[in-house]
Amino acid sequence: MTTVTISQPQTDISVLQAQLQLLQQENARLSLINQFAIDLHELTGSDDILQYAAKHVVAGLGFVDCAIFILADDGETLQRKAASGTRDLPSHLGIAELKLGHGLVGFAASIKQSVLVSDTRTDPHYLADLVPSLSELVVPILDGDELLGVIDCEHSHANYFSAEHQHILEIVASILASKLRKSQMLARLESSVSKLEYAERLQKALYEIASFSYFANDFSSFYKRLHQIVNSLIYAPNFFIALFDDETQTLQFPYFADTEDEIDPNQVYGSDVLAHSLTGHVFRSKQPLLISRQQMADFDREHQVRSYGSEPESWLGVPFQSSDTVRGVVVVQSYIAHIQYSQRDLELMIFVSQHISNALERVFSEKRLQHQALHDALTALPNRSLLMDRIGQAFKRMQRFPANHLAVMYLDLDRFKTVNDTLGHQVGDAFLVQVGRVLKLCMRQTDTLARLGGDEFAVVLEDVASLADVTDVAQRIIQALQQPLLVGEHMLLTSCSIGIALAGAVDQLQSADELIRRADIAMYQAKQDGRGVYRIYSADMKVQESQEFRLDLEIKAALAKQHFMLNYQPIISLDTDDTIGFEALIRWTHPGRGVITPDEFIPYAEKNGLIGLIDHYVLRQSIEQIRLWRQEHATAFYISVNVSGLAFSEPDFTCAVIEKLAEAKVPASYLAIEITERALIENIEQARLCLKQLRQHGVRVLLDDFGTGYSSLSYLNEFKLDVLKIDRSFIANMKPHIKDNPVVNTVIALAKTLNLKVVAEGVETSLQRQLLKELGCDAGQGYWFAKALPPADAIKWLR
């Protein structure tokens, strides 16, 4: 009997069961991959996509210890963005960042191909993570040929990963690449929309800042609105503005909004805050500063600065400027760790600082102009105009408080002219500045010290209870000025004569001019009584109110109130009859005494040191007249100004002339300076330097009244001049025949030899004009052409 064993059906069942199991596993993987592709539609952010892929898909497919790396913006660094299993670690643990080419991850990324390593112990590229592995599978995430990232899977057993694993992971990487690319495109689109919206808000906000900064007058409201606008653009609940005071070298915070600290806007901060604070550092460096809390420790060690008050997580400060001087700092700061300021925020704050600067510059400019109008340019003390205003205000206060008195001191430095004559005007000016400082130390804080001009000062003392209050101040001033003053290398001695005038409610005196006049009279009495003393005005004071004394007061008043007027005498070309220029001649119509001729007041002004003030007055008025005429006429012309030897010997005379021309925007060729022979030789070296500097800048120089002084040919040859003017006395005595005028003939021939133009003064007849033309004289002026004319009439000669 034969036994038959049937085993094939059992084998077939085992095989089928194995195949079924494989199909079920494959189906599960495909379902998971399919579900992954479906679920990705619900996810938009890159971080969400990567986390989902790492924790639910890769791990679900059996890849337990996995990490997904994304290529950074620099194109050279791979950063771990998501992980599962032992690779799911905080960013500071494990391998969180790799360069291309480093490790198996970097290697696969660099060749853009999958890498399967069965035994990592034999692979030179392997880098152990926090938990070492024996097998590793790395699949690049590629969009076409562009690398987006890498999926890296590790296992503790060797030979764990197969080609099937690699195939599955490559499908996941492909799906992930497509979704990442779409997510990146969507993020870029959203970023573009966000930037457009931000740009629109930014443009609107910046326009508003620019608009109201121009019209800002109330700075409290300006700062508050500025804060509101900045806060609408960036995180800025903590916002402050610091201002720097040049004079006191202190910081002040006129606007301070902060969630942690408070600052009184009236409080000022000195050198410590300026030297050691972040705000002070921005002042001193004149550069913006963007700094985080982590950077502050190193910054403090390097610059010895620290934050005052609560320590911020992020600090951004930008300086703003007025002219070339840093005036303040605008600051925003964050106390929240995840809110950090960026470069874009810095650019916004720079724009904001510029408009703060514009607003402050406008206000500071107005204040500067106001200050210049009311203060002496040399000493920065109040001038006569401000002094008169202070006296007027004091009179009003005295009406409300009649028990107190008002006093004015008139001070005149003794022998100041000697300083100028021996050491020069530069030392004299420095001496006046030093005297001003000494006088300030002798006064009460409420008193006003003013410079009236030259070597004269005045003091206004308000709320005076008794005469002793005034005489105490006068005595302190006299004693202080008896001490030697160091000015540069020179130790100088001086003294002063002081006149005092008082006003009380019972006097019914309300005139500032009269109060100053009384103090001036008392000062002259002090000078007569021996100098270095003070005298108090009284009605029966035996003062020689002579014509000279009155003239002194009236000249000063006329200069202060611009009562001197200029007339202009045309200078005519004898060849073409064209007007080539004008000579500016000063005229004085006194409100009470009528016309006062120059012969009456110019000699007195020269004798008493007032001529320099008159010279500069005429220069300013003439340059302003040139500016006005140039606006109406294109014809070239010049105005010549007579300058005394006193002004011409000032070391800074040329600078003063050029500055006046520059301020009026008048070319130097439109101005001429007339100087006499005597003035030239009074200070030969200074005159030579001054002439050279004036001509280098394009200012013409005319030698006036030639023939009446020294008439030295050596001087005429030595000094570089442009024009020689023949004095009127020679023109008046001209004979009808050319040969009978040897002096005039010789002067003209001499001038031609030296390449000088010649202008004849005092031409009053047609014969004189004709003879001068035949002799070769270039131009003439005098009554034959026109007398000195007011500006409205003189301008007609340019038409």
Show the domains of the chain with their CATH numbers. 17-187 (3.30.450.40), 216-372 (3.30.450.40), 378-545 (3.30.70.270), 565-589+607-798 (3.20.20.450)
DSSP codes, 518-569? HHHHHHHHHHHTTSS-EEE--TT------HHHHHHHHHHHHHHHT-EEEEEE
Can you tell me whether residue 659 is helix, strand or coil?
Answer: helix
Whether 66 contacts 54, CB under 8 Å: yes
Strand (E) or helix (H) holding 706: strand 700-706
Beta strands in 72-201 (DSSP E): 77-84, 97-99, 115-117, 135-143, 146-155
Task: Quote the DSSP letter at residue 789.
Answer: B
Question: What's the first-to-final CA gap in the chain, in angstroms?
Answer: 155
Whether 196 contacts 146, CB under 8 Å: no
Whether 361 contacts 219, CB under 8 Å: no
Taking 3-state DSSP, the helix, strand and coil percentages for the chain, each rounded to the nearest 5, stand at 50, 25, 30
Tell me how far apart the alpha carbons of residues 108 and 106 are, in angstroms, rounded to a whole number: 6
Whether 231 contacts 240, CB under 8 Å: no
Task: Bin 157: left if φ > 0, else alpha if -120 < ψ < 50, else beta.
Answer: beta
Number of other CB atoms surrounding residue 792 within 10 Å: 7
CA 35 to chain centre: 67
Amino acid at the residue 118: S
Output the CA–CA distances (angstroms, integers) from residue 738 to 707, 708, 762, in the order listed: 19, 21, 18
Identify any residues that bridge with 503 across adjacent strands, giving them in sequence order: 406
Tell me how far apart the alpha carbons of residues 513 and 557 are, in angstroms, rounded to a whole number: 9
Whether 498 contacts 519, CB under 8 Å: no
Tell me how far apart the alpha carbons of residues 172 and 32 are, in angstroms, rounded to a whole number: 10
What's the token pair of residue 327?
Answer: 């005036």
Residue 121 phi/psi, 5-degree rounding, is -70, -20
Identify any residues that bridge with 67 across adjacent strands, giving them in sequence order: 83, 152
Tell me how far apart the alpha carbons of residues 692 and 722 are, in angstroms, rounded to a whole number: 11
Tell me how far apart the alpha carbons of residues 497 and 413 are, in angstroms, rounded to a whole number: 7
> Any alpha helices (H) in 675-732, and if so which ranges?
677-682, 684-696, 713-718, 728-732
Tell me how far apart the alpha carbons of residues 481 and 496 are, in angstroms, rounded to a whole number: 7
CA 421 to chain centre: 38
Q: Which residues, other chains included, contact 726 with Cβ-Cβ below 8 Å and sequence gap of 6+?
A: 706, 707, 744, 747, 748, 758, 759, 760, 761, 777
Output the CA–CA distances (angstroms, integers) from residue 126 to 76, 104, 133, 158, 513, in the order listed: 19, 5, 10, 14, 99
| pLDDT score at 772 | 93
**Burial state string for 499-511 with b = 16 or more CB within 10 A and e = fewer than 16:** bbbbbebeeebee
Output the CA–CA distances (angstroms, integers) from residue 6 to 9, 11, 29, 376, 771, in the order listed: 7, 10, 37, 130, 159
Number of other CB atoms surrounding residue 151 within 10 Å: 28
Tell me how far apart the alpha carbons of residues 426 and 649 are, in angstroms, rounded to a whole number: 11
Tell me how far apart the alpha carbons of residues 638 and 625 are, in angstroms, rounded to a whole number: 11
Whether 383 contacts 559, CB under 8 Å: no
Amino acid at the residue 476: R
Output the CA–CA distances (angstroms, integers) from residue 285 to 280, 302, 330, in the order listed: 9, 14, 14
Task: Quote the DSSP letter at residue 403.
Answer: T
Q: Rounded to 5 degrees, what angle do the CA atoms 485, 489, 492 make?
A: 30
| pLDDT score at 306 | 74
What is the mean pLDDT for each group of 10 consecutive residues in the chain (799 residues)?
A: 49 67 63 67 76 75 84 91 87 88 93 94 90 92 91 92 86 84 73 66 70 65 84 90 79 89 81 84 90 88 81 92 71 94 88 76 68 83 90 85 85 80 79 92 88 90 87 92 87 89 76 88 83 84 58 82 91 94 91 80 79 91 93 88 84 88 93 85 78 91 73 63 88 85 85 90 92 93 93 88
* Closest to 703 in 3D by CA, of 637, 776, 758: 758
What's the token pair of residue 139?
Answer: 């699949």
Whether 615 contacts 645, CB under 8 Å: no
> Any alpha helices (H) in 237-303, and if so which ranges?
271-276, 278-285, 293-303
What's the token pair of residue 707?
Answer: 């023939």
> Any alpha helices (H) in 338-466, and if so which ranges?
343-374, 384-400, 416-423, 425-441
Chain position carrying tokens 């009649």: 402
Whether 677 contacts 715, CB under 8 Å: yes
Burial class (CB in 10 A: 0-12, 13-18, 19+), 466: exposed
**Beta strand pairing status for 700-706 and 723-726?**
parallel
Whether 385 contacts 373, CB under 8 Å: yes
Output the CA–CA distances (angstroms, integers) from residue 289 to 243, 271, 352, 357, in the order listed: 17, 20, 15, 18
Residue 758 phi/psi, 5-degree rounding, is -125, 130
Can you tell me whether residue 724 is helix, strand or coil?
Answer: strand
Q: Which residues, other chains included, contact 794 with Cβ-Cβ below 8 Å and sequence gap of 6+?
A: 567, 568, 569, 570, 582
Task: Quote the DSSP letter at residue 216.
Answer: -
Tell me how far apart the alpha carbons of residues 482 and 371 are, in angstroms, rounded to a whole number: 31
Task: Quote the DSSP letter at residue 61.
Answer: T
Can you tell me whether residue 428 is helix, strand or coil?
Answer: helix
Tell me how far apart the alpha carbons of residues 112 and 246 are, in angstroms, rounded to a whole number: 64
Q: Which residues, other chains included, contact 528 with Cβ-Cβ below 8 Å and sequence gap of 6+?
A: 543, 544
